[in-house]
């Protein structure tokens, strides 16, 4: 890439919420933004919104469904056909609190979409991020990874028989499984950071959490709570989706962000406020745990995630 070349970013889940805000910001900053979305109609609506908000945006769409391995391979192949390098991979897409679902990959939906799909996608795109200048991978985790029960449940990864047990969030169950997937985002980042450093790569792996912000992530809440959301959010220390995306932008743009940093809002209870470096959960420094998740992810995918 020469100085005159345009920077390229991929944003997964770019048609909604934090992903859409991030795509808007990047397009406004002259990035070429590749929207990685599972619905073409929703991606087109997002492109129309970006076109209205930004002068001459440079936006592309490549379909991606993170629970469909063939779709992930197709996405990576199409991206590589079209583009010779990648500056920024934002692994943002996610699902929270759906009814208990086992995917075609025999995995609990949140773990498959939020972690495994992004792990696989990253493994396929790493060669395009591997440049002689700095590039970044930003994984989007959650405050849910701070919950005392946030862990990788190796003995019952799919929560067979106990998915609906445990605390509910605004009427949504499956929150322990959600926390598992968001802890996986952190552990994956830590192990990736170590492996990139060992290989002498200039790729920075960073993890963020957006605090609490008002997006479509609440789509699995009971209807009565969703109807009350506009009123409730005013009293609940919840940010707008623009504010929620600030942590992602901080991780994308700031020069002083280091590999392995955890970026999130620094205000009350880390739910809102200016983004900055926040403490990692203790498990993030458990190297054996990070390696075990990496090995499990490779095994479930039937791949070896090679760097360099």
* Interface residues toward ligand NAP, by CB under 6 A: 12-13, 15-19, 37-39, 42, 64-67, 92-96, 113-114, 140, 142-143, 209-210, 212-213, 215-217, 244
Q: Is 178 a catalytic residue?
A: yes
Name the minimum Å distance from CB 154 to ligand NAP.
Answer: 22
Name the minimum Å distance from CB 186 to ligand NAP.
Answer: 12
Token couple for 152: 């990788």
Name the minimum Å distance from CB 21 to ligand NAP.
Answer: 8
DSSP 117: H
Active-site entry in 31, 163, 178, 250: 178
Query: Please, are residues 247 and 275 in contact by the beta-carbon 8 Å criterion?
Result: yes
201/246 with CB nearer ligand NAP: 246
- Nearest residue to 127 (alpha-carbon basis) of 89, 169, 85, 99: 85
Query: Please, are residues 88 and 26 in contact by the beta-carbon 8 Å criterion?
Result: yes
Cα(47)–Cα(254) distance, integer angstroms: 26
46/201 with CB nearer ligand NAP: 46
- Nearest residue to 93 (alpha-carbon basis) of 206, 195, 215, 188: 215
216/242 with CB nearer ligand NAP: 216
CB 1: neighbour CB atoms within 10 A? 14
150/201 with CB nearer ligand NAP: 150
Name the minimum Å distance from CB 307 to ligand NAP.
Answer: 24
**Where in the sequence numbering do the catalytic residues fall?**
178
């Amino acid at each position: 890439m020469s100085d005159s070349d345009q920077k390229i970013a991929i944003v997964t889940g770019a048609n909604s919420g934090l992903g859409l805000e991030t795509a808007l910001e990047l397009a406004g900053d002259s990035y070429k933004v590749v929207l990685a979305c599972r619905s073409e109609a929703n991606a087109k609506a997002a492109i129309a919104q970006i076109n209205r908000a930004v002068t001459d945006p440079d936006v592309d769409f490549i379909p991606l469904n993170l629970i469909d391995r063939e779709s992930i391979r197709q996405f990576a192949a199409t991206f590589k056909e079209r583009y010779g390098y990648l500056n920024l991979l934002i692994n943002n897409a996610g699902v929270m609190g759906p009814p208990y679902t086992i995917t075609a990959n025999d995995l609990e939906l949140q773990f498959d979409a939020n972690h495994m799909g992004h792990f696989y996608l990253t493994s396929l795109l790493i060669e395009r991020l591997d440049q002689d200048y700095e590039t970044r991978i930003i994984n989007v985790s959650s405050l849910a990874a701070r919950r005392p029960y946030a862990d990788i449940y190796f003995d019952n990864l799919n929560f067979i028989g106990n998915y609906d047990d445990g605390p509910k969030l605004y009427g949504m169950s499956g929150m322990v499984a959600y926390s598992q997937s968001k802890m996986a985002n952190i552990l994956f980042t830590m192990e990736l950071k170590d492996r990139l450093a060992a290989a002498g790569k200039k790729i920075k792996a960073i993890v963020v959490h957006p605090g609490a912000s008002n997006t479509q992530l609440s789509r699995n809440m009971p209807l009565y709570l969703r109807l009350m959301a506009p009123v409730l959010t005013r009293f609940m220390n919840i940010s707008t989706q623009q504010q929620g995306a600030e942590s992602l932008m901080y991780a994308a743009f700031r020069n002083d962000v280091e590999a392995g940093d955890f970026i999130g809002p620094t205000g009350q209870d880390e739910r809102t406020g200016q983004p900055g470096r926040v403490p990692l959960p203790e498990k993030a420094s458990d190297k054996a745990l990070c390696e075990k998740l990496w090995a499990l992810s490779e095994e479930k995918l039937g791949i070896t995630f090679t760097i360099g």
